[in-house]
């Protein structure tokens, strides 16, 4: 297969669909970044279906680290909280992607949601050919009184 200008553009684009249209497999870092972007976008839109599709919901966990306290809960509880109402003012920045190995990756991000900032570490794994979220660990500047008592904002 010859590398055309179009297929080279597909390699450089963060759009996996565009890569697929040219028969090009996107770099794993691009695919992982897309899942993280989709995760935050789904939180912003309060999109339960999208969040459930991105997570391994039977085994996924969300952990809040608050000083010397750690609170971990199943991701389903967090999805309930994230999808209670859309948050159009939410914003996020992907700070880094680390490919641990061919089937595991971590993403570091900063999320602003409902007026508070969240420093997040997402863990993703390859599952049946797709990158899926399995864990989120975060800390926040949100006042303790405004946070739920379980992990997940």
Structure tokens at 24: 């090009």
List domains and CATH numbers for the chain.
Answer: 5-146 (3.10.450.50)
Query: Do strands 116-127 and 130-140 pair parallel, antiparallel, or not at all (unpaired)?
Result: antiparallel
92-141 pLDDT, tens digit each:
999 999 999 999 999 999 999 988 999 999 999 999 999 999 999 999 88
Task: DSSP for 1-50, please give it.
Answer: ----HHHHHHHHSS-HHHHHHTT-PPPHHHHHHHHHHHHHHHHHHT-HHH
DSSP letter, residue 148? -
Q: What is the sign, positive or negative, of the torsion defined by CA atoms of 71, 73, 75, 77?
A: negative
* Residues 90 and 113 sit within 8 Å (Cβ to Cβ): yes
Q: What are phi and psi of 122, to 5 degrees?
A: -100, 140
* Residues 124 and 107 sit within 8 Å (Cβ to Cβ): yes
What radius of gyration do the chain's Cα atoms show?
Answer: 17
pLDDT at 149: 47
Average per-residue pLDDT for the chain = 84
Cβ neighbours of residue 17 closer than 8 Å, sequence gap 6 or more: none
pLDDT at 23: 64
């Amino acid at each position: 297969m010859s590398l055309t200008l179009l297929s080279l553009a597909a390699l450089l684009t963060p759009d996996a669909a565009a890569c697929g249209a040219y028969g090009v497999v996107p770099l794993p870092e691009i695919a992982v970044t897309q899942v993280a972007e989709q995760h935050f976008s789904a939180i912003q839109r309060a999109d339960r279906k999208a969040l459930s599709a991105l997570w391994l919901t039977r085994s996924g966990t969300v952990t809040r680290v608050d000083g010397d306290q750690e609170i971990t809960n199943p991701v389903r509880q967090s999805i309930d909280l994230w999808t209670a109402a859309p948050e159009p003012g939410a914003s996020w920045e992907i700070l880094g992607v680390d490919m641990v190995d061919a089937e595991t990756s971590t993403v570091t991000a900063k999320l602003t949601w409902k007026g508070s900032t969240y420093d997040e570490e997402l863990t993703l794994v390859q599952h049946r050919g797709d990158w899926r979220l399995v864990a989120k660990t975060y800390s926040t500047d949100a006042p303790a009184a405004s946070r739920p008592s379980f992990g997940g904002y």
